[in-house]
Amino acid sequence: MSAAGEPTTPTPLGVAMIGYAFMGKAHSQAWRNVAAYFDVPAVEQRVLVGRDAEQVAQAAARFGWAEAATDWHEVIARDDVHIVDICAPGSLHAEIAVAALEAGKHVLVEKPLANSLAESERMVAAARSAREHGVQSMVGFNYRRVPALAYARRLIADGRLGTIRQVRASYLQDWLADESAPMTWRLRKETAGSGALGDIASHAIDQIQFLLGDTVTDVSGRLHTFVGRRPGDGGLENVTVDDAAWATLSLSGGALASVEVSRVALGRKNSLQIEVYGSRGALTFDLERLNELQFLDGAAPDAEQGFRRIVVTEPDHPYAGAWWPPGHVIGWEHTFTHQIQDFLICIRDGTAPSPSFEEGLQVQRVLAAIEQSDAAKSVRL
Residue 245: pLDDT band by 50, 70, 90 thresholds? very high
- pLDDT (mean) for 297-320: 95
- Tens-digit pLDDT profile for residues 21-42: 999 999 999 999 999 999 999 9
Q: CATH number for 13-142: choose from 3.40.50.720, 3.40.50.360, 1.10.10.10, 3.40.50.300.
A: 3.40.50.720
Residue 2: pLDDT band by 50, 70, 90 thresholds? very low
Percent of the chain at pLDDT exceeding 90: 95
Q: What is the pTM of this model?
A: 0.94
Residue pair 84/76 in contact by the 8 Å Cβ criterion: yes
Classify residue 1 by burial, with Cβ atoms within 10 Å: 0-12, 13-18, 19+. Answer: exposed
Q: Is the peptide bond before 12 cis (omega within 30 degrees of 0)?
A: yes
pLDDT at 4 over 50: no
Q: What's the chain's average pLDDT?
A: 96
* Residue ranges covered by each domain of the chain: 13-142, 147-289+291-330
| CA separation for the pair 349, 342 (Å, rounded) | 11
**First-to-last C-alpha distance (Å) of the chain:** 67
Provide the residue type at 245 as one letter. Answer: A
pLDDT at 7 over 70: no
pLDDT, residue 295, reads 98
- Tens-digit pLDDT profile for residues 364-375: 999 999 999 999
Dihedral sign from CA coordinates of 367, 137, 251, 257: negative
pLDDT, residue 103, reads 98
- Tens-digit pLDDT profile for residues 66-103: 999 999 999 999 999 999 999 999 999 999 999 999 99
What number does CATH give the domain 147-289+291-330? 3.30.360.10
